[in-house]
A = this chain, B = another copy of it.
Amino acid sequence: MGNEALAQATAAFSRDGSSAATGNVVSSGKSRFRGLGVHELAITGGFWQQKQQLNAESIIAHCEQWMERIGWLANFDLVAAGAIAGSHRGIEFVDSEVYKLLEAMAWELGRMPDAALEARFDAIVRRVAAAQSADGYLNTSFGHPGEPARYSNLADGHELYCFGHLLQAAVARIRTGHDDLLVSVARRAADHLVAEFGEDGRDAVCGHPEIEMALVELGRALDDRRYVELAALFVERRGHGLVDSGSKGSVYYVDDLPVRDARVLRGHAVRALYLAAGALDVATEQADIQLASAVAEQWSNTTRARSYVTGGMGARHEDESFGLDWELPPDRAYAETCAGVASVMLSWRLLLTTGDDKYSDLIERTLLNNVLASPREDGHAFFYANTLHMREPGRVVDETQVQERADSGMRAPWFSVSCCPTNVARTLASVSCYFATADGDGIQLRQYGDYDVATTLGDDKRVSMSVRSGLPFDGGVDIEITGERPTEFTLALRIPAWATGATVTGPDGEDVPVAGSQATVRRVFQPGDRIRMSLPTAPKIIWPHPHVDANRGQVAVERGPLVLALESVDLPSSVPFDDLELDLAATPRATTRGAIVTMKMVAAALDAEAPYATHEPAAREFGSVDVELHPYSEWANRGPSRMRVWIPHRPIDSP
């Protein structure tokens, strides 16, 4: 979809974009900024188009085929036929994967209509709709003959979590201009939830947050305050011990503290991040500054001491949870793909609320280095956990089987809890939604790539432009104002935190000053005006905070927005992977997509039968080797490998 189609699409929508079908992942009339949806900003080429094509051509179909093959879709048919008793396939909450697939399809259809995909989408929606009860309840694992009763296991049954993803799929549909069967299913489901869990209903919450942001978004999309109010109830109820937490403890369920009293995210990372995102949605709708501030502080404290250099969140395999401050082991990083998706969702909401590009920086870091690390380059296998250090080459996966465990070493096609592939699918289909924002009379470009923008500022100020960039590899960004007539507006360009020495040249060849994280041009733009940015992507050494014990004596290397990794497949087999130290005296040299660094080979064995001794290990350097580091997100695409993001270093003044 080029500028012309975009212009047609967006012309049909209301002016402030707050509740109309601009195709946006988040859309509130009460945010300071609004995002530009898939009908206002279209990816036209380059890195992101390749990712969206991978999603359209491989990932979405992959997810659909797996869920058909192993009966997760058929669960709905069995419910509709009254035959689910004893025949349900998969764990309790596999419905949610079907809904995330529908959401992915809805966004994909929104950005790029496709009759065949539309037909597949409709077919799944019909199967889902057929399983809905007369009162709006919908779940294939509970509430039918032979199954546990509805809401009999709110802590771990994930019924409201599933409803949340159903509602989010419907929101995607509404935002992309439809009011069809899925929307009516969602509306009936939401009405059921209001009746069941509203003020006079059950005083309960779901063990896994998700419903909160879904209800707010559906409330926004359908302009129905009851849904927003129910979301607010769920947020306020949390942290008062309503979850029957059993042996996992209330922290796991993020039920240990009221949201507005918490200062940092903790417990199960995806739950904590979804809850924070939902709480911010509620805060935005209710102008609840105290709640919004609490979430912002949680983001800051979590990012400051509980996030990986890849953007990954959730340090512990145990409980898939956040660790304590500074507990960030590279080799046991969980950094679940879904936590990365959730982190992007939270940061985006904070960006819309504040305009602060520190959120854009984390979105970029997380998308490129955590979320995109999940799918294999062919789109048919995924990382669930995204470790930053692989000590032994990963186990080759039997790709005909559902994996029971989230292994870190090799991507797998499907999991018994397969949240990550579908989360990747819905994120890639809607990823352009995170690229730019607008306010009264300005456009703010937050991420760069090849895309066209066409939107309306204020009541009727039509603005359009095309953006071209070789990022994330090449740091040049060219922006050309398009459209038919001169228009006055403010164009704000994010200068990424990594882009030290960035320069911006305005339409008249003038230097545009970079102030903090933005360069701003306000003028009457003429069609054909060009703004050029140069964002230096030279490789850089990244140092860890001294409190991160697991990173002591190690550095990472970034190249532009990309975290690089050392992979054993790039080393001659004679080079001992465990005995390499980055030579800081040799400046890393950029390659097309990575960087060449010099590694010292250091025989540093300890003369001991244990991993400790009473003497300092004597290190003997026996050579050096130049090796190319590649983007972390691409690791393990060439077979089992050892890998490090944080690399031991040899100080410059060392012998």
A552→B606 CA distance, assembly (Å): 13
Contact present for A615 and B304 (CB under 8 Å) = no
Contacts of A617 in B (CB 8 A): 543, 545-546
8 Å CB contacts to B: which residues of A291-340? 300, 303-305, 307, 309, 316-318, 323-332
Contact present for A614 and B547 (CB under 8 Å) = no
Contacts of A605 in B (CB 8 A): 545-546
Within 8 Å by CB of A552, from B305, B331, B543, B553, lies B553
Contact present for B546 and A604 (CB under 8 Å) = yes
Contacts of A305 in B (CB 8 A): 611
Contacts of A324 in B (CB 8 A): 331, 391-392
Residue of A405, A549, A579 ringed by the most chain B CB atoms within 10 A: A549
A459, CB-defined interface residue at 8 Å: no
A405→B245 CA distance, assembly (Å): 12
A81, CB-defined interface residue at 8 Å: no
A646→B550 CA distance, assembly (Å): 12
A604→B613 CA distance, assembly (Å): 28
Contacts of A249 in B (CB 8 A): 404-405
Contacts of A648 in B (CB 8 A): 546, 549, 552
Contacts of A300 in B (CB 8 A): 609
Contacts of A329 in B (CB 8 A): 329, 332, 550
A165, CB-defined interface residue at 8 Å: no
Contact present for A544 and B247 (CB under 8 Å) = no
In the complex where A304-B609, A326-B578, A609-B303 touch, is A500 in contact with B614 (Cβ < 8 A)? yes
A545→B605 CA distance, assembly (Å): 7
A554, CB-defined interface residue at 8 Å: yes
A619, CB-defined interface residue at 8 Å: yes
- Look across to chain B and name the residue whose beta carbon is closest to the beta carbon of A558: B614
A398, CB-defined interface residue at 8 Å: no
Contact present for A330 and B606 (CB under 8 Å) = no
Contact present for A619 and B327 (CB under 8 Å) = no
**Shortest CB distance A83–B (Å):** 27
**Shortest CB distance A88–B (Å):** 17
A304→B500 CA distance, assembly (Å): 45
Contacts of A554 in B (CB 8 A): 549, 552
User: Interface readout for A611-637 with B: 1 if CB under 8 Å, 0 if not?
Assistant: 111111101000000000000000000
8 Å CB contacts to B: which residues of A591-617? 602, 604-606, 608-617
**Shortest CB distance A201–B (Å):** 30
**Shortest CB distance A600–B (Å):** 12
A556, CB-defined interface residue at 8 Å: yes
Contacts of A404 in B (CB 8 A): 246-249
A540, CB-defined interface residue at 8 Å: yes
Residue of A326, A389, A391 ringed by the most chain B CB atoms within 10 A: A391
User: Interface readout for A532-571 with B: 1 if CB under 8 Å, 0 if not?
Assistant: 0000000011111111111111101010000000000000
A358, CB-defined interface residue at 8 Å: yes
A263→B641 CA distance, assembly (Å): 21
Contact present for A543 and B614 (CB under 8 Å) = yes
A543→B607 CA distance, assembly (Å): 11
Contact present for A606 and B546 (CB under 8 Å) = yes
A541→B614 CA distance, assembly (Å): 6
In the complex where A325-B391, A552-B553 touch, is A358 in contact with B609 (Cβ < 8 A)? yes
**Shortest CB distance A393–B (Å):** 11
8 Å CB contacts to B: which residues of A125-167? none
- Look across to chain B and name the residue whose beta carbon is closest to the beta carbon of A614: B540
Contacts of A646 in B (CB 8 A): 549
8 Å CB contacts to B: which residues of A484-521? 498, 500
Within 8 Å by CB of A610, from B303, B330, B604, lies B303
Residue of A304, A558, A579, A611 ringed by the most chain B CB atoms within 10 A: A611
Contact present for B550 and A611 (CB under 8 Å) = no
Contacts of A8 in B (CB 8 A): none
Contact present for A549 and B330 (CB under 8 Å) = yes
In the complex where A318-B318, A405-B249, A540-B614 touch, is A391 in contact with B327 (Cβ < 8 A)? yes
**Shortest CB distance A319–B (Å):** 9
Contacts of A323 in B (CB 8 A): 331-332
A58, CB-defined interface residue at 8 Å: no
A553→B555 CA distance, assembly (Å): 13
Contact present for B391 and A328 (CB under 8 Å) = no
Within 8 Å by CB of A612, from B246, B543, B552, lies B543
Contact present for B613 and A543 (CB under 8 Å) = yes
Contacts of A184 in B (CB 8 A): none
A211→B71 CA distance, assembly (Å): 41
A14, CB-defined interface residue at 8 Å: no
User: Interface readout for A15-43 with B: 1 if CB under 8 Å, 0 if not?
Assistant: 00000000000000000000000000000
Within 8 Å by CB of A556, from B358, B547, B612, B615, lies B612
A53, CB-defined interface residue at 8 Å: no
Contacts of A541 in B (CB 8 A): 614
Contacts of A392 in B (CB 8 A): 324-325
- Look across to chain B and name the residue whose beta carbon is closest to the beta carbon of A604: B546
A549→B542 CA distance, assembly (Å): 17
Contacts of A613 in B (CB 8 A): 542-543, 545
A286, CB-defined interface residue at 8 Å: no
User: Interface readout for A357-393 with B: 1 if CB under 8 Å, 0 if not?
Assistant: 0100000000000000000000000000000010110
A123→B332 CA distance, assembly (Å): 48
**Shortest CB distance A483–B (Å):** 37
Contact present for B545 and A309 (CB under 8 Å) = no
A50, CB-defined interface residue at 8 Å: no
8 Å CB contacts to B: which residues of A238-255? 246-249
Having A500-B614, A546-B604, A547-B611, one finds 10 other A-B pairs with CB under 8 Å, namely: A247-B416, A304-B610, A317-B317, A331-B550, A543-B613, A547-B578, A549-B648, A553-B553, A556-B612, A558-B614
7 A–B contact pairs at CB < 8 A? A247-B404, A309-B610, A328-B611, A329-B550, A500-B614, A542-B614, A552-B553
Top 10 closest A-B pairs, CB basis? A552-B553, A247-B404, A546-B604, A545-B611, A317-B318, A552-B552, A545-B606, A324-B391, A553-B553, A309-B612
